[in-house]
């Protein structure tokens, strides 16, 4: 059991567990930054518990449903190990990984900004364990997905249709995109009632923050290698990929504007033009980063989803949005 636990922890945390010190440093920086900012708010224990369950369940589902995890499990199941011990070791490794990379961040935020309550911390630990135990039997699987339409040609239209099929056939990507749109609608409804219309462009940064579209090639190394071998990549790959991402961004921004209009009554016609501009610029940077600087050295797919690279495009879009807010405010 200890051997299986160590093997999986090394997969998640590096051959020498080098990721653990880095994560602890990030925890310390986050805690000290929030504490030094003197931000103080009262967070009820039940809020901590519910958020912990959400992060734990999401972390387990993301790790256990990734293809690289399934490949590792298929190999481990061939070993002459007691099934109960194997599952216990693997569960503990995923639990520790989830605490270190996700739930632990929440605990640091709570300890930094809220009054310490022992019940909240104990409940945090209980929710992590219970959430993981409740999710593990339903998320655990060893069957690989059958990927249809894997092979592509160099034609522009063919690659665009391939991206559409790839997105719609992967339920995790599709759910993430729809969830982003739903959250954008809630954000527009709340912002529309509580802030001036000048701040409307900030929502575009959120609506263009679509992680699955930014890692379509990085998440499938075989696909990336095939794409790099195709001729005429600028016209056959870059442009249809950028047009596809821009179209998705425009749909998202359109939904956001529609909800904003319902809540506030109107918005400046220039916002439509700005939404189109932001969608195109965001798509261009997203595709350029994915093609020129792919993330191919990841070990766990969950790390790929949370790589800091995805915040580069968001930062650029926020800069454009803040510039628009300043410009509108000066008119």
Structure tokens at 144: 């690989």
Residue 11 makes CB contacts below 8 A (sequence gap 6+) with: 72, 93, 299, 300
Same domain, 184 and 307: yes
Cβ atoms of residues 121 and 34 within 8 Å: no
Domain boundary among 109, 139, 169: 139
Distance of CA 187 to the CA centre of its chain: 18
Residue 95 has a pLDDT of 93
Residue 328 has a pLDDT of 57
Chain-wide mean pLDDT for the chain? 80
Of the chain, the percentage scoring pLDDT greater than 90 comes to 11
Alpha-carbon torsion (47, 53, 59, 61), positive or negative:
negative
The pLDDT tens digits of the residues spanning 151-175 come to 444 444 567 777 777 777 777 777 7
Domain boundary among 108, 139, 170: 139
Say how many Å lie between the first and final Cα of the chain, rounded: 67
Same domain, 114 and 164: no
Residue 235 has a pLDDT of 67
Distance of CA 230 to the CA centre of its chain: 29
Same domain, 162 and 135: no
Same domain, 180 and 323: yes
What is the residue range of 160's domain?
Answer: 156-330
Would you say residue 40 lies in a domain? yes
Would you say residue 311 lies in a domain? yes
Same domain, 291 and 164: yes
The pLDDT tens digits of the residues spanning 38-52 come to 777 888 889 899 999
In the predicted structure, residue 192 carries a pLDDT above the cut 90 = no
Of the chain, the percentage scoring pLDDT greater than 70 comes to 87
Residue 185 has a pLDDT of 82
Same domain, 250 and 322: yes
Q: Total structural domains in the chain?
A: 2
Cβ atoms of residues 314 and 205 within 8 Å: yes
Same domain, 14 and 107: yes
Same domain, 177 and 104: no
Three-class SS string for the chain?
Answer: CHHHHHHHHHHHHCCCCCHHHHHHHHHHHHHHHHHHCCCCCCCCHHHHHHHHHHHHHHHHHHHHCCHHHHHHHHHHCCCCCCHHHHHHHHHHHHHHHHHHHHHHHHHHHHHHHCCCCHHHHHHHHHHHHHHHHHHHHHHCCCCCCCCCCCCCCCCHHHHHHHHHHHHHHCHHHHHHHHHHHHHHHHHHHHHHHHCCHHHCCHHHHHHCCCHHHHCCCCCCHHHHHHHHHCCCHHHHHHHHHHHHHHHHHHHHHHHHHHHHHHHHCCCCCHHHHHHHHHHHHHHHHHHHHHHHCCCCCCCCHHHHHCCCCHHHHHHHHHHHHHHHHHHHHHC
Same domain, 174 and 273: yes
Give this prediction's pTM.
0.67
Q: How far apart are CA 56 and CA 65, in angstroms?
A: 14
Indicate the Cα dihedral angle 85, 87, 90, 91, nearest 10°. -110
Q: How far apart are CA 311 and CA 11, in angstroms?
A: 25
Cβ atoms of residues 105 and 52 within 8 Å: no
Would you say residue 151 lies in a domain? no
Residue 156 has a pLDDT of 47
Q: How far apart are CA 174 and CA 156, in angstroms?
A: 23
Q: How far apart are CA 94 and CA 34, in angstroms?
A: 28
Same domain, 99 and 36: yes
Domain boundary among 80, 106, 139: 139
The pLDDT confidence band at residue 2, using thresholds 50, 70 and 90, is confident
Residue 143 has a pLDDT of 66
Cβ atoms of residues 209 and 306 within 8 Å: no
Query: Which whole number is the average pLDDT over 306-314?
Result: 80
Would you say residue 147 lies in a domain? no
Same domain, 130 and 164: no
The pLDDT tens digits of the residues spanning 20-36 come to 888 899 889 888 888 88
Would you say residue 148 lies in a domain? no
Query: Which whole number is the average pLDDT over 313-331?
Result: 71
In the predicted structure, residue 300 carries a pLDDT above the cut 80 = no
Would you say residue 146 lies in a domain? no
The pLDDT confidence band at residue 91, using thresholds 50, 70 and 90, is very high
Question: Tokens 């034609």 map to which residue?
Answer: 155
Same domain, 128 and 192: no
In the predicted structure, residue 127 carries a pLDDT above the cut 90 = yes
């Amino acid at each position: 059991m200890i051997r299986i636990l160590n093997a999986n922890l090394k997969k998640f945390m590096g051959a020498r567990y080098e990721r653990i010190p880095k994560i602890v440093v990030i925890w310390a920086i986050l805690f000290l930054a929030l504490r030094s900012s003197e931000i103080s708010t009262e967070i009820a224990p039940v809020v901590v518990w519910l958020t912990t369950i959400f992060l734990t369940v999401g972390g387990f589902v993301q790790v256990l449903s990734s293809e690289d995890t399934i490949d590792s499990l298929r190999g481990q199941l061939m070993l002459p190990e007691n099934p109960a011990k194997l599952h216990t070791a693997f569960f503990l490794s995923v639990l520790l990984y989830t605490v270190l990379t996700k739930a632990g961040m929440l605990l640091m935020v709570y300890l930094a900004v809220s009054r310490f309550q022992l019940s909240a911390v104990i409940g945090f630990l209980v929710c992590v364990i219970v959430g993981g135990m409740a999710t593990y039997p339903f998320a655990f699987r060893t069957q690989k997905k059958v990927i249809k339409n894997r092979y592509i040609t160099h034609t522009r239209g063919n690659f665009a249709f391939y991206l559409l099929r790839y997105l719609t056939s992967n339920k995790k990507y599709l759910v993430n995109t729809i969830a982003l749109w739903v959250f954008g609608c809630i954000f527009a409804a709340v912002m529309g009632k509580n802030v001036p219309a000048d701040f409307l462009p900030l929502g575009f940064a959120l609506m263009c923050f679509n992680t699955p579209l930014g890692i379509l090639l990085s998440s499938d190394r075989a696909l990336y290698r095939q794409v790099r071998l195709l001729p005429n990549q600028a016209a056959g790959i870059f442009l249809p990929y950028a047009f596809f991402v821009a179209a998705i961004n425009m749909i998202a921004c359109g939904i956001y504007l529609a909800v904003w209009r319902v809540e506030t009554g109107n918005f400046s016609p220039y916002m439509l033009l700005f939404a189109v501009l932001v969608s195109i610029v965001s798509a261009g940077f997203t595709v350029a980063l994915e093609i020129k600087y792919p993330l191919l050295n990841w070990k766990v797919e969950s790390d790929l989803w949370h790589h800091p690279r995805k915040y580069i495009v968001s930062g650029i879009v926020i800069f454009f949005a803040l510039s628009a807010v300043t410009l509108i405010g000066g008119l």
